[in-house]
Structure 1
Amino acid sequence: MWNGVLCGLLAGAMWGMVFIVPELLSAFTPMEMAVGRYTAYGAIALALMLPRLKSLMRRLDRSDCLALVRHALAGNIVYYMLLAMGVKLAGVAPTSLIIGVLPISVTLMGRKDHGAVPLRQLAMPLLVTATGIACINVDVFTHAQAAGGSLWRISLGVLCATGALFCWSWYTLDNARYLKQHHHFSSAEWSALYGLSSGLIALVIGAMAFAVWRGDITGAAAVASGRDWTTFWITNALLALGASVIGNHLWNIASRRVPVTLSGQLILFETLFALLYGFIYKHQWPRVLEAVAIVLLATGVLWSVRVHALEEEVHGA
């Protein structure tokens, strides 16, 4: 189990980067960022799986294809569009902490899965996590009001982040259940197929968007406006390699080695790394409530890991 926990932590470190990219590419729309990221992801996945492409395609059945399509949409493209919009409107910290509700939503949704720890044993860790999430939300809206920010804009950002939360919660459960029930693909193979399907869908969406709207600025004017396409593709390629290829592969390993209720807790590492990267990017220390939230969230996830470890020891004995 502990190898699964380590893989979950490293996946969180990779995924935390996705909250910073919308800040770096603020001149681009969430749809452009999603299409760029997953087109790059698809290209990298295709290159990695090319020597085994025919063998993998022969092993695909109808249920695999349906799973790949729904996971690509819910877990990648739609999720990232909503996340990017949340970051643009509400900021990195509130968006990442709303996504941080995942441990609670996934745990509750997966409470009947095999190997799940009874909720009564997770009550205190979940309460600590919920308190941390409450702290960050109080801080966000209080700070925005004091700074004269638009509450409507932040509320819309929070709504988008909540939509991303629901997408990722459903994907996390469905992906974990599917991997536990189907063993004809390794974690690396499934991650590559997942990337290829995401890339194909992103290309279709991009082509449809281009057919509707073809206008764009290029050259020096593009650089001046922030719409620098060279920077756009380099950033998305690095994000696709780190967060999508490496991060998803690590997460698939974790999903196979830990109970669903614990996998929900491990996603919290993404939130903690996103906060860390955000503070570094903005060259600022966390405010008091933000620091309290970080401590509470870290305590909640470590407590939950301990509960699962004790439960495993009891059943193992």
Structure 2
Amino acid sequence: MWTGTLYALIAGLMWGLVFVGPLLIPEYPAALQSVGRYLAFGLIALPLAWLDRAALRRLTRSDWLEAIKLAAIGNLLYYLCLASAIQRAGGPLPTMIIGTLPVVIAISANLRNARRDGRLPWLRLAPSLLLIAAGIACVNQAELAALRNDAHADITRYAYGALLAFGAVACWTWYPLRNADWLRHHPGRSPRTWATAQGVATLPLALTGYLVLWLVMGVSGSPFAMPFGPRPAVFIGLMAAIGLFASWLGTLCWNEASQRLPTALAGQLIVFETLAALSYAYILRGHPPGAQTLLGIALLVAGVMWAVRVKPEPVELNA
């Protein structure tokens, strides 16, 4: 249980990096950041795939189709929505919307996976969910107050960013549940191999997306300097860093956690991503969070610690 929680923490720290990219290169289209990140992820996965080629050969056609689905929705579409949301609404608002994932995934998993994982009793699970929800509400309230005090804020743009963030939530509610299904149905397979397989599956999708985007920009007469934009060194370095640490290492650690933890509990531990992303956002802002935000963070941590103590109960099958 605690080893799985530690892996989830490391995954959260790595995944928090993805919230930084759109803030560091805001002039780059979100679609380019999405395909750029996963093109880097796919290229990083190639030498890893060579080292793990024997295990990858044992994957069936249906396994590779599942990896492609996970790559398309949990990687490319998710990050397209997230990067677009951050560019329109800034870092904190999308971060807090994504922060609802622990509650959304926990409820979804507790409804659909009780027979496999055991049922986390709702009465015992409720306090942790309420603490997490209260923490998210506190931080969100603080950010909304700051927004209301900004005379130059574009409310429509922020609202559109919020809608895109909810789209990212939908993608990432589907992804961990579906990913955990595969891992739990294949307990003898290495999570490292499965992370690498998703990277390999992402590569042709990202490469195709990159070429299509380049073609569309050329045909439409976009002034954006393809293929690497106005700051090529920064773009390439950032995409490589996010591809290695967030995409591959984060996925590897999450796979390790998914094999050790009930899906409902693992879903709650995505809160680590929210905490990491908030920390990085305030570091970029150059000032610490306020008292209400700190209270929200404390509630989030308390909710996670409470959740770790809840043990699943086996579901009795009818004869």
Q: What is the TM-score when the length of structure 1 is the normalising length?
A: 0.91
Of 194, 198, 205 in structure 2, the residue corresponding to residue 201 of structure 1 is 205
1:266 and 2:279 correspond: no
Displacement of 1:267 in angstroms is 0.5
Displacement of 1:273 in angstroms is 0.6
- The count of aligned residue pairs is 305
Cα distance in 1 between the residues matched to 2:223 and 2:60: 41
Q: Which amino acid aligns with 1:201?
A: L
Q: Judging changes above 3 Å, is the alpha-carbon distance between structure 1 residues 63 and 119 closer, same or farther for their aligned structure 2 residues?
A: farther
Which residue in the other structure is 2:130 paired with?
127
Of 144, 149, 157 in structure 2, the residue corresponding to residue 146 of structure 1 is 149
Summarize the alignment of residues 172-211 of structure 1 with structure 2, pairs less than 5 Å apart. Answer: 172-183=176-187, 185-211=189-215
Q: Which amino acid aligns with 1:14?
A: M
- For structure 1, the residue ranges without an aligned partner over 5 or more in a row are 313-317
Cα distance in 1 between the residues matched to 2:67 and 2:201: 6
Cα distance in 1 between the residues matched to 2:149 and 2:284: 22
Q: Which has the larger displacement, 210-219 or 150-159?
A: 210-219
Cα distance in 1 between the residues matched to 2:225 and 2:207: 21
Which residue in the other structure is 2:95 paired with?
96
Q: Which has the larger displacement, 151-160 or 140-149?
A: 140-149
Displacement of 1:84 in angstroms is 0.7
Displacement of 1:227 in angstroms is 2.5
Summarize the alignment of residues 237-252 of structure 1 with structure 2, pairs less than 5 Å apart. Answer: 237-252=240-255
Q: What is the TM-score when the length of structure 2 is the normalising length?
A: 0.90
1:255 and 2:254 correspond: no
**Contact 1:179/1:255 (CA < 8 Å) preserved in 2?**
yes
Summarize the alignment of residues 78-117 of structure 1 with structure 2, pairs less than 5 Å apart. Answer: 78-112=77-111, 113=113, 114-117=117-120
Q: Deviations over 1:42-64 (max 9, x none)?
A: 001011111443x3453222321
Displacement of 1:116 in angstroms is 3.6
Q: Which has the larger displacement, 29-38 or 136-145?
A: 136-145
**Contact 1:115/1:260 (CA < 8 Å) preserved in 2?**
no
Summarize the alignment of residues 1-317 of structure 1 with structure 2, pairs less than 5 Å apart. Answer: 1-53=1-53, 55-112=54-111, 113=113, 114-148=117-151, 149-183=153-187, 185-214=189-218, 215-216=222-223, 227-308=230-311
Q: Judging changes above 3 Å, is the alpha-carbon distance between structure 1 residues 67 and 230 closer, same or farther for their aligned structure 2 residues?
A: same
Q: Which amino acid aligns with 1:141?
A: L
Cα distance in 1 between the residues matched to 2:16 and 2:156: 26
Q: Which amino acid aligns with 2:47?
A: A
Secondary structure in structure 1 of the residue aligned to 2:110: coil
Cα distance in 2 between the residues matched to 1:200 and 1:103: 31
Secondary structure in structure 2 of the residue aligned to 1:111: helix
Secondary structure in structure 2 of the residue aligned to 1:213: helix
**Contact 2:42/2:199 (CA < 8 Å) preserved in 1?**
yes
**Contact 1:110/1:116 (CA < 8 Å) preserved in 2?**
no
Secondary structure in structure 2 of the residue aligned to 1:128: helix
Q: Deviations over 1:246-282 (max 9, x none)?
A: 1110110000000011101111000001111111111
Displacement of 1:143 in angstroms is 1.7
**Contact 1:116/1:260 (CA < 8 Å) preserved in 2?**
no
Secondary structure in structure 2 of the residue aligned to 1:117: coil
**Contact 1:94/1:136 (CA < 8 Å) preserved in 2?**
no
Cα distance in 2 between the residues matched to 1:273 and 1:42: 24
- For structure 2, the residue ranges without an aligned partner over 5 or more in a row are 314-319
Cα distance in 1 between the residues matched to 2:89 and 2:97: 11
Secondary structure in structure 2 of the residue aligned to 1:156: helix
Q: Which has the larger displacement, 41-50 or 284-293?
A: 284-293
Cα distance in 2 between the residues matched to 1:278 and 1:157: 17
Cα distance in 1 between the residues matched to 2:167 and 2:215: 27
**Contact 1:176/1:255 (CA < 8 Å) preserved in 2?**
yes
Displacement of 1:140 in angstroms is 2.4
Displacement of 1:138 in angstroms is 2.2
**Contact 1:111/1:117 (CA < 8 Å) preserved in 2?**
yes
Cα distance in 2 between the residues matched to 1:268 and 1:192: 24
Cα distance in 1 between the residues matched to 2:305 and 2:59: 38
Displacement of 1:66 in angstroms is 2.1
